[in-house]
Structure 1
């Protein structure tokens, strides 16, 4: 929690005592901009993306772990930061010790719960890559694929597409997802995200790396809850004893 956010939180008060000022901070379906207690797995994700910093696409990879282990929260936060950074520099993210790369990858996050067909999948990827709105009717799936290829046809561009919630009831399974990826341009790498262990999914037949998320331990959950309660805007929101009971 930074100083600016703390100041704005107090500015929003209307003089009436309130238990919560910012409900999203405690909402179980709202992801924090900077998830807490995720340093090691975040470093593994950055290791996977490391080729981007040298002007290359990373290989395909598979992120897995049990429900509620933070996969979506961490990946969406990381991709949001990468999208903002790449849009500012219009080039690959780089450090002062690395040569400025001319390669300019794009970062796309797709939720498989909302893209259960080929059309919806290609539409979601294309819509994230172009500034103008992509029509949802009156256009064929093949046309979306052709436009995707044209969008990524520049010599020094490409995309890393993270696809979340694969293999859940009502979403794409591993084989269906792999078939859809065959219709993507060659300059696309994908990061599949699911719950199944590597030996129980076909996805790992097409990946070079697997990144595991483990279940939160009780003390870590308490820290997460207390951090979110603090961000919610009131010191009376949640005490440590209640956070421990919830965890």
Structure 2
């Protein structure tokens, strides 16, 4: 980030006065345009993509790394930069060779499997990058979008490298499903699965993304806090301590930093204390679910989660059916619908089912325990941001 952009951010403060001045800078679901500490990973990715620089289609390869290692951040930044240089619609329309034919074009398409889960959504996501024309959100069928994509890539000098992120999470688009959807244009596309693991029975090359080293994570926290926090709001040794605690997981480190800043702001203090950081760390569950998975849920599910967190009886370890009844009391949803949503969220591993001890025989009841950072979710939820 250059100096002018830093000044602009300070002039356009969105978080008001106090400790926290720019939530996006600390938001673990927002990726920065220039990944920190990932130079060697970027080089390995470029090695695999190098045929595209000679107007050829690269072979498929997988990108995998542990939670919080920045796989999404690296892919989104790289594909955005590559599309600007090799696949912009302006280049396709306005640039021609000396023979009068358009230059060969390769698009680099990023598809978020957390938010794109249907065939219609997938074709629309790809077309939004490769097509110069607006892509309709409704009023057309999946077959029409598939045909439009087929026509767009029909020429041999048009190609697309498509990254499908989070392919290995519950209820997202799998690599096999994406391959089937791309069958009509398979000669002009390369698919890059991105996740914590390569696809099952994967035999292609893999770019492994390691967990962040401690000094890399310190650099990330320092860079983000320099933009998102007021000057002097946190001591550098606290950032080093936070990086050590996060153990290579940038999501957890940023979430704890964000949470600590919220605690300090709520207390109307001008700096983050060690106690704020300890409380923020304690609020993040072990093996925490990435906040973006929760924020990618439909708004109705997010509101059910907020209602669950707001229940005064939640610490009483009520069974799921009673939790559903409590939530439905102050909701337009029926008890049955809420119960179905809660089980659905447990199946997606957003909530953990915890068995309850009850005397007698019969089916053992269970309650629910959130597996995500609650304070930061509240701050980024539809209720807090005013989204509808």
What TM-score range do you get, normalising by the shorter chain? 0.7 to 0.9
Structure 1 residue runs without a partner (length 5+): 92-100
How far did 1:189 drift?
Answer: 1.1
- Please list the CA deviations of residues 159-216 of structure 1 after superposition, one character each: whole Å capped at 9, or x if unmatched: 11111000101212343233233243421111110112x4x623x24x3x21001111
Q: Does 1:212 align with 2:208?
A: yes
Q: Which one has the largest radius of gyration? A: 2
How far did 1:107 drift?
Answer: 1.4
- State the match for 2:63 in structure 1: 63
How far did 1:236 drift?
Answer: 1.9
Alpha-carbon spacing, 1:164–1:13, altered in 2? closer, same or farther (3 Å)? closer
Q: 2:239 aligns with which of 211, 235, 243?
A: 243
How far did 1:83 drift?
Answer: 2.1
Partner Cα distance (2:66, 2:82) in 1: 25
The 5 Å alignment of 1:39-50 reads 39-50=39-50
Say which is worse superposed, 216-225 or 60-69, in terms of deviation: 216-225
Contact 2:83–2:106 under 8 Å retained in 1: no
- State the match for 2:2 in structure 1: 2
Alpha-carbon spacing, 1:173–1:127, altered in 2? closer, same or farther (3 Å)? same
The 5 Å alignment of 1:78-157 reads 78-86=78-86, 87=88, 90=91, 102-157=103-158
Contact 2:63–2:209 under 8 Å retained in 1: yes
SS, match of residue 158 in structure 1: strand
Partner Cα distance (1:245, 1:195) in 2: 26
Structure 2 residue runs without a partner (length 5+): 93-101, 244-388
- State the match for 1:234 in structure 2: 230
How far did 1:25 drift?
Answer: 1.2
Structure 1 length-normalised TM: 0.84
Q: Which runs of 4+ in 1 moved over 4 A?
A: none
Partner Cα distance (2:173, 2:50) in 1: 28
Aligned residues: 232
How far did 1:57 drift?
Answer: 1.4
- Please list the CA deviations of residues 29-50 of structure 1 after superposition, one character each: whole Å capped at 9, or x if unmatched: 1100101111000111111111
Partner Cα distance (2:232, 2:206) in 1: 41
Partner Cα distance (1:132, 1:182) in 2: 23
Partner Cα distance (1:127, 1:102) in 2: 20
Superposition RMSD on alpha carbons, in Å?
Answer: 2.4
- State the match for 1:158 in structure 2: 159
How far did 1:145 drift?
Answer: 1.6
Partner Cα distance (2:218, 2:159) in 1: 40
How far did 1:115 drift?
Answer: 1.7
How far did 1:10 drift?
Answer: 4.2
SS, match of residue 9 in structure 2: helix
Structure 2 length-normalised TM: 0.55
